[in-house]
Amino acid sequence: MNDALTLTPGTATTVSLLKAGHTKIRYAAEVLADDGAHVVVRAPWAGAGIKDFGFVRFEKGDVFTEHYWRDRWYSVKEVRAADGTRKGWYCDVARPARVTAGGVEAEDLDLDLWLSGDGRTVLRLDEDEFAESGLAEREPETADAAWRALDELEGLARSGGLDGLLAGA
C-alpha cells in the first residue's frame, strides 16, 4: 500500500494510534522523513504521567523516534530518556500505517515486542490480549499477518538489533 500523500520533513503532523477502530491516543509529532513507504516522526512522551511496564518506564522528557510503514504490519519506536540515553525499542504489531491530510494513523493489533537499549533483553508482549481479542476468529488472515510480523521483529531483534531495519531514516 502506498498512499499518494507524503509528509514533508521538518513539518508538524499528528499521530493517531487506534485500537479496535477507535482512537486510543493522538499527539503532535515532527516529521523527520517520508520516502513514500516509511514515515519517521519524533515526539515527546505523550502519555499521562509515568507508564511503568516493569522492564522500562516511559516518562516526561522521554523522546520517541517512531517508524511507520505503509506496507509492513508493525511500527517501531526508539525510546530515549531526556538525557539522550537509549532506553530501547517498543514495537507495535499494527496494520500498515495510513498517511492522510490529518497525519499518520496506525491501528494496534495488541501484539508487542520490547528490545532493551543494550540489546540484551527481547520480550514478546501481550500475546494473551491478542488471543482474547477474537481477531483470529474474525479476521484470520490479519491474525496470521500479525503473528508473522511479531516473529519477524523478534528475529531481527535477536540477530543484531533493529538498527539495520531503521537505517537510512
The residues with which 27 forms a beta bridge, in sequence order, are 15
* Pairing assessment for the beta strands 98-100 and 86-94 based on DSSP bridges: unpaired
Q: What is the mean pLDDT of the segment spanning 125-153?
A: 95
Residue (of 75, 91, 74) closest to 146 by Cα position: 74
Query: 78-129: per-residue pLDDT in tens?
Result: 999 999 999 999 999 999 999 998 899 999 999 999 999 999 999 999 999 9
Candidates 146, 155, 161, 166; CA nearest to 38 is: 166
Query: Do 19 and 109 meet the contact criterion of CB atoms below 8 Å apart?
Result: no
* Contact present, 7 and 31 (Cβ < 8 Å): yes
CB distance 109 to 93 below 8 Å: yes
